[in-house]
Structure 1
């Protein structure tokens, strides 16, 4: 039972870490991309507009790149340095990163399907195009009906971390698949 609680705590910690990065430190991921894009004349947007337009793909790519880093070696190094910590950093049968995206995806789907436009009619049907533009579109795709005080929170607290954790899990799975024998020896030891 304690392993399940520890595993769920790891998933929750990963989400909180990613959500904090998304809200507080998004510029760390977007600023270098913006600098390259403006220097190469690919974009003439100012930094804030660029952040709001391209945050989601840049954050997903950052998650994928981070997932390619073999953090299992860090676990092995910690155990070699301090063998007493082996119980604290023991390997799960299913690494938490594989399913850390699940809680935030469930929260995202609840928010996605319960969102209502300010201009929605009680009689009218749900506006799927507006809903998709609100959560996934660039600033050019947004209309005044899509903006409210929760727009930025929806992108930075739900959509961005969901993409980041999904891309990270895919990269870890890809890394374990491509380098399976080395990764399984690393994971099992």
Structure 2
């Protein structure tokens, strides 16, 4: 039971970390791409409009690239540097990065299916196209019915972290397929004297 709680805590910590990155440090991911796009004359929009339009694909690509980095090897380095810390660095059978997208996706799906347009009619059916456009569309595709005060919150707290963690899991799966999973660290034993 404690391993399940530790795994859930790791997943929620990753989600919190990604949500903070999405809100506070989005410029770290988007600004270099915007600078290249303006230098190559691919876009003439301002930084803010570019951020709102292309945040999701850039954030997903950065999650994929981050998934290719072998952070799991840090546990082995910690146990080699400080053998007494080995009991705190237990290898998971399934790394948290591979399944951290599940709670985030559940939160996204709850928000996705409970969202209602301001201009929704009682007689109208669910506006699935507008729903998809609101959560995944560019700034140009947003209509006044879709664009409200919670649009940025939906984009930066639900859609962005979900795509980031899904792409990160795909990157980690690709890394595991190419180089294999790291072996479990050997327990430290004192030499017999």
* TM interval, short-chain normalised: over 0.9
**1:188 corresponds to which residue?**
184
TM-score by length of 1: 0.96
* Aligned mates of 1:94, 1:187 — CA distance in 2: 12
In structure 1, how many angstroms separate the alpha carbons of the residues matched to 2:179 and 2:130? 42
| C-alpha distance in 1 between matches for 2:61 and 2:183 | 25
Q: Give 1:135-150 correspondences, 5 Å limit.
A: 135-150=135-150
CA distance in 2, matches of 1:50, 1:116: 26
Counterpart in 2 of 1:117? 117
Partner residue, 1:23: 23
Contact 1:68 1:172 in 2 (8 A): yes
- 1:109 shift after superposition: 0.5
1:76-102 deviation per Cα after TM superposition (whole angstroms, max 9, x unaligned): 111111111112121111111111000
Residue ranges of structure 2 left out of the alignment (5+ in a row): 186-193
| TM score, norm. by length of structure 2 | 0.94
Q: Is the 8 A contact 1:10 1:96 kept in 2?
A: yes
Q: Distance in 2 between matches of 1:174 and 1:104?
A: 21
Greater helix content:
1
What is the rounded CA distance, in whole Å, between the counterparts of 2:89 and 2:162 in structure 1?
Answer: 25
Post-superposition offset of 1:187 = 3.7
- Any residues of structure 2 matched to 1:147-166 within 5 Å, and which? 147-166=147-166
CA distance in 2, matches of 1:158, 1:84: 39
Root mean square deviation, CA, Å = 0.8
Is 1:29–1:59's contact at 8 Å kept on the other side of the alignment?
yes
Tell me the distance in 2 between the aligned counterparts of 1:157 and 1:89: 30
Structure 1 gaps of 5+ residues are none
Is 1:56 aligned with 2:61? no
Match of 1:11 in 2: 11
Largest Rg, 1 or 2: 2
